[in-house]
Chain A
């Protein structure tokens, strides 16, 4: 039998709690997390510390989320080496460096950012994941949720767009992160020690140092990056329309807008007006204002004033989109504008003496061409299936158009010049018919459910895309509208309509929408009972 009372002097425990400094770097494959890790190890070793890094690249090497981990400690008495761990322990990490904002969020969920201990250095730019990009609407994760969580979990936070800062200085994000780390003072090393590491790293030293210094200064200044959160993608409110315009035709329309429409709607209506006029001509702008004026009148009758004329404002937005539909004439027009070429030239950093050209990937089908023909001719052609098929075989194939070659440009230019024919085309007739029915349905709802009426207008958001995508969008639109009809009598119809819209925007296949429709069906059929 052994002595049960093993004596452990309390003094020894002080050593046991003296742990190495730990740094976790969370990044995506290809972001240079390995380089940064190497720098940190080098930094510590140059100061005579023992440092160890590990990583688990695994399959994450290709664009997936990756984590690197560094521990460092001074050697003990007689040069004793510390035993360093190979993975971060939740609740026991001194510095977390996140090279992307959602990765910062992921590190928080891993529990490695804790209020007693962790300095979080994060770039708040976003590299969107495939899931976020795939949604047929807006599927981007909410960066503000990460910001809020950081406020709770981090002992100290250094957050700004380090990616942009690095790129502006001709470098990559690792240099900026390293600069922020240096300025944070989280490690007991002098800024010069950090610079020395970059200086001896061999590649792109000057640019790395510029980004390092910029991030260092920015972190020292203690700015947290208000007003430039890259994740914050919410559009700003529309600018106020001007009082007058120098162009007489534009000014006439503007003055009509100002006199006919309630004030809260004018911002949006002005943008809409500009869009439809650019799409067609001044007369088309007049038509837009006519429709909006009628809508505004009905809105007023339905108590619009109390609702801030939301109905009219929403109509101003979606009517403009509906009127400026996507046809070949519009595409050709947009592609041949001078501003477009200037934008691309800037994008490509076009230098002096260099020549820019662009190639368009077009795949027109007879359907698109026929729909721009006068309605009569188009209908006649549709009535001749063999001729139609014969023609389609000649037209339906991919065409590469060299925009800034003479031939390519003239082709597109002439196509854009077909505008005068547009309002007689089959496509235009179809579009007018569709939008009239949609507006009628919305205004009909206006009398008994204001919110629902607004929601119906918003369903128009679903109409987008070209060719098959456009057809699918229409079928989605129809299914949503049909379902709304079955519940339009309910008080909560607007909420359901919004939910239908949201789920239709969520996935490309429409499974989510089917689910919502099923849900709605389950209670509508229940109420109606078996017949």
Chain B
């Protein structure tokens, strides 16, 4: 079960003709898929696409009713390969993932798919994780679209436009026998909005139809000589067909003055996704109102690839200069339009990155500056009566504000309260204290937060599931062993073969640590093969240990409770020092605390209410015993373990303190024990609805304890008030 339940949102997917949908962009996209009559859908979770996968997982009944087959793909390559169902049959299908990382993984399948072409509409929805808040390298999906010749849709951030483009995208795919990519940026995925719905559509041709009358066509398979024919087909048939369709369906849009009203000398060519910010920039420049009534002609490319030459020609007609607003680099669209205009022997100057930043977010501020500069150079009189643009720079220069740069601490993401991965890294730090630092290859997942304070563990991260593979070179006997970390998500994504299988085959001497927290946690807690939950629709509870043994691993240790820091450290030490040959594999398992709490909390509350014996636990720190050294925090970083200043003039430094969000995972106590830190930590246990045995024990000990305490208190020298 995923971290967030979409049971309520799923109801939106049932909306029918004329109903108004309200909600997040990613839900609108999901609804649009159902309105398009898809037969199958799949994908791999990852921001900003996770919610799409979660919604589909929660919408199984609706999908069943519509005859849509939903697959939780093993990875993006699996998802991409699934689109092959549309090669021979008139089946519509869609897959989704985070890009460019997911597209990297899927590109082998996509290249094959795009070469042979498709019969049914095939769509890849990519969550373009670019710019502020991104968790990946800054690249563009655009390059993939061009290299494999898949049409790239980049809808204007408006749900109506997004939904329309998905429906039309399938038609485009079918009209041109080419898979289509629909790119949505992070902000558009999480953007709220509304659109008027249509009824969901059942596919006319079903998967059963396909299976019951299978078809094959050697010409669609990528093998010479068909492969050569495919390339020619792409240029001679599919591209012209796509261009015709895009023009006829009017997928690209024009705003601002057209026809006789178009009397100015400049215009903007804008990626669909950049439209809203561009309008705001024009507003700051006094050239548009808030409703998008602009004085500058704008050509919005909801289809970013291919470039529609005739539309460019028409738009440039009479213009001295156009500015291409295209986020990211290289500037593929600007190059394409420059080429187009040059080949048409037009006099219009094409600009883009000369005025706008080559790299990074196209913020409204950046656009205002760039467009303003462009207009100053090419049509200055337009700017005649513009309002002053917002400018925070003067106030940021104020010494009191500038002083803040030294004060405000960075706040990177970290492991949650009670995270079962925390004790793993604490144990690793303790092992390093004894055996020295080791090279650590990290992976993608929550465990990557180990690279940040307080752990500062991990040297590289090469991609999802590639933690083990990225220490391949360090297979050196006699040196300090390398350690590779990989999550269960990455393990099943590809790490079993690329990492563990590789290490076994090459007799790698390193240590391979697989963090098994029962979910694909970093992407929102989706189930995977080794999840412990019982999932009606998927087969879970497949052991990682069995899998690694299955590919031939010999030295395998399973740790069932990562919070046992002593054991964790000892196993790590053993793995780093043993004489055993081959990869040393440790599977460290404990349930993701975020998901566990979500699962267990209602159960506990109910038990307590029903009068059942329940023990509530929380950790605490004896503030008189704590000396304020914070060594515990340097081995933890738990959000609930903080510091507080005591009301005691004798004490300078704040002491450790645990707040009420503690979930009593035990890490504090275990670390204090394993690292021989200090006796300040205690676990407080409150028994609700105690049983007779509890009451008997308490009845026996409490009076004795009280008597002894009073006895000692009476003898103490009394200074009045607190004792210490």
Contact = CB atoms under 8 A, between A and B. Distances in A.
B687 interface: yes
A268 B186 contact: no
A328 B301 CA distance: 74
Interface string B407-425: 1111111111000000000
B679 interface: yes
Interface centre among A92, A102, A416 (most CB of B within 10 A): A92
Nearest to B658: A347
Give the size range of A's interface with the partner: 35 or more
A320 interface: yes
A386 interface: no
Contacts of A447: none
A321 B286 contact: no
Contacts of B723: 278, 337, 339
A508 interface: yes
A185 B559 CA distance: 56
Nearest to B643: A133
B649 A268 contact: yes
A246 B718 contact: yes
A384 interface: no
Contacts of B280: 19, 83, 85, 89
Contact of A91 (B47, B190, B390, B412): B390
B408 A109 contact: yes
B633 interface: yes
Contacts of A413: 708, 712
B193 A52 contact: yes
Interface string B452-491: 1110000000000000000000000000000000000000
Contacts of A2: 263-265, 318, 320
Contact of A105 (B404, B620, B647): B404
A275 B411 contact: no
A407 to B, nearest CB: 9
Interface centre among B132, B650, B700, B704 (most CB of A within 10 A): B650
Contacts of B264: 2, 6
A363 B672 CA distance: 8
Contacts of A45: 22
Interface stretch (A135-143, A426-434, A513-521): A135-143
A3 B644 CA distance: 71
A62 B415 contact: yes
Contacts of B283: 16-17, 19
B387 A13 contact: yes
B624 A334 contact: yes
Interface string A106-145: 1011011011010000000001111111111110111001
Contacts of A131: 409-410, 453
Contact of B627 (A20, A358, A398, A464): A464
Contact of B709 (A20, A53, A338): A338
Contact of B395 (A64, A114, A281, A355): A114
A306 B395 CA distance: 44
Interface string A490-514: 0000000000000001001000000
B413 A246 contact: no
Contacts of B718: 245-247, 250
A19 B286 CA distance: 11
A278 B279 CA distance: 72
Contacts of B695: 355
B48 to A, nearest CB: 8
A59 B48 CA distance: 10
B157 A86 contact: yes
Contacts of A344: 620, 682, 684
Interface centre among A41, A153, A473 (most CB of B within 10 A): A153
Contact of B186 (A56, A76, A354): A56
Interface stretch (B100-108, B162-170, B287-295, B575-583): B287-295
Interface string A269-313: 001111101110110010000000000000000000000000000
Interface stretch (A186-194, A218-226, A236-244): A236-244
A467 interface: yes
Interface in A74-117: 76, 80-87, 89-92, 102-103, 105-106, 108-109, 111-112, 114-115, 117
16 contacts: A19-B280, A86-B277, A132-B409, A134-B634, A233-B644, A235-B649, A335-B622, A336-B712, A338-B706, A348-B616, A355-B686, A355-B698, A359-B669, A361-B672, A361-B679, A365-B676
User: Shortest 6 CB-CB distances between A and B: which pairs?
Assistant: A111-B392, A91-B390, A56-B133, A58-B133, A64-B413, A464-B627
Given A245-B720, A354-B688, 18 more contacts: A16-B283, A16-B287, A17-B286, A55-B190, A56-B187, A60-B413, A84-B276, A105-B407, A127-B642, A138-B645, A140-B643, A235-B645, A271-B650, A347-B684, A353-B690, A354-B690, A359-B669, A405-B697
